[in-house]
Amino acid sequence: MTMTAVESPRRRGPYAKTAQRRRQIVDEAYRLFATRGYYASSLRDVAAAAGMSQSNLMHHFPTKEELLLAVLAQRDELGGGDVPCADGDEPFEAHIVAQAKANESIPGLIAVYSVLSAEATTEDHPGRDYFLKRYAMLKTEYAAEFEELRRLGRLREGVDPTTAAASVVALWEGIQLQWLYEPDAVDAAATLRAYLDLVIVDPAH
């Protein structure tokens, strides 16, 4: 019993150290991809930023493509937390506005997404499938939300749920890109709020 209790932490130690090292690599790749892009950042660059040799890095991530997918997974992890809404009841439109505000507070989140999504438009980019699936998912989810608003009588007459969903995705990405250029002059959340106010009827009126 005593030996098992002493040896167990030793067996877990290497795994914890490996996980910590992988996280360090992903953190540095995340930062470099957000500032330089995927193509302009080499594994050698990431290794140097992480303070290790390239061979050591490749022990954890054998290919640059695998590292990219890990960065995108981290982006989803950072941007996927619960975001409280100002009014507390989390209606669809309030959640979008709250998420837009939260995105601005997470270092590098908007930059890494904007840079990589632009690069991934090329057919050979390893992140292309990720973004294609993400856009499809967002448009499907938002279209369902707008359809529910229409059922409740809250969607303005003539507004098509599918078109409104695509418009939210396009507006959100476009205004966040502008925010990267002028963070003190652009209010992404307010812009999204203004669009939603155009297509959604306030239940209080």
Q: According to the model, what pLDDT value does residue 18 have?
A: 86
Q: For helices 109-119 and 92-105, what crossing angle results, to 10°? A: 100
What pTM did the predictor assign? 0.84
Asked, colleague to colleague, whether 2-76 and 82-199 share their fold, the answer is yes
What pLDDT sits at residue 17? Answer: 73
How big is the chain, counted in residues?
205
Nearest to 78 by CA among 113, 48, 117: 113
Q: Mean of the pLDDT values across residues 33-51? A: 97
Q: How far apart are the first and last CA of the chain?
A: 70
Domain residue limits, the chain = 2-76, 82-199
Please state which of the ranges 8-12, 54-58, 124-128 shows the lowest mean pLDDT: 8-12
CATH hierarchy code of domain 2-76 = 1.10.357.10
Instruction: List pLDDT tens digits, range 104-149.
Output: 999 999 999 999 999 999 989 999 999 999 999 999 999 999 999 9
| CA dihedral sign, ordered 23, 25, 29, 31 | positive
Binned at pLDDT 50, 70 and 90, residue 80 comes out as confident
CA distances from 127 to 27, 69, 123, 199 (A): 18, 7, 10, 33
Upper half-sphere CA count for residue 71 (Cβ side, 13 Å): 31
Angle in degrees, CA 14, 16, 18, rounded to 5 = 65
pLDDT mean over 182-201: 96
The tokens for 200 are 């959604």
Grouping H, G, I as helix, E, B as strand and the rest as coil, residue 2 is helix
Q: How many CB atoms lie within 10 A of CB 55?
A: 9
Closest CA to 25 of 59, 16, 35: 59
Query: What CATH number should be reported for the domain whose range is 82-199?
Result: 1.10.357.10
